Amino acid sequence: MILNILEYPDPRLRTIAKPVDEVTDETRKLIEDMFETMYDAPGIGLAATQVNVHQQIIVMDLSEDKSEPRVFINPKVEVLDGDYQPMQEGCLSVPGFYEDVDRIEHVRINAINEKGEAFELEATGLLAVCIQHEMDHLNGKLFVDYLSALKRNRIRKKLEKLHKKSA
Ligand SMILES: O=C(O)C[C@@H](Cc1ccccc1)C(=O)SCC(=O)c1ccccc1
Ligand SMILES: [Zn+2]
């Protein structure tokens, strides 16, 4: 089922997600709906926060042909080296805006998969960037928070105007 994606500046996007106690069939159904929603958008990542479910669940697929689906439940990210690199980011909750954000170049993520098995992954490049972007969502943070107040307010005003039209 395609789920509704919350859009900035919706305050619910600022909610801190809670850990998943047990990976159940209900968790797996939500993950299935998150993948369907992400592919439909289209996007390369989606955090449960964005569909107003405040559990620590991220789905991702950086492939061109939906061939590399990834699930991260209760993820923890470690910095492997402190270098930052700028990369252009978009966000399904901030549709139509793309801005450069500095992110840590090399990270390690520890998480649980949809079968409840623990795993670890080292990442650089777009995968590392996407992991940090999705982790921010689970902590109520958005990529616009890294921009200047001027840019952030311009984006907010444009999206609020769009919401009024469609409301
Ligand atoms: O809002 C999200 O979390 C999804 C976001 C993830 C992301 C993209 C780029 C850098 C960091 C994080 C998106 O997927 S925005 C859409 C997008 O970037 C894209 C869409 C289709 C094909 C390729 C990229
Ligand atoms: Zn996003």
Domains of the chain plus CATH, in order, are 11-166 (3.90.45.10)
Predicted ipTM?
A: 0.97
Cα of 7 vs centre of ligand 2, distance in Å, is 10
* DSSP 8-state assignment for residue 55: B
Q: pTM here?
A: 0.98
SS3 state of residue 3: coil
Residues contacting 160, CB < 8 A, separation 6+: 9
Answer yes or no: is the C-beta of 13 below 6 A from any ligand 1 atom.
no
4-46 pLDDT, tens digit per residue, is 999 999 999 999 999 999 999 999 999 999 999 999 999 999 9
DSSP letter at 82 equals E
Please identify which of the residues 89, 99, 105, 134 carries the catalytic annotation. Answer: 134
Map 114-159 to HEC letters: CCCCEEEEEEEHHHHHHHHHHHHHHCCCCHHHHCCHHHHHHHHHHH
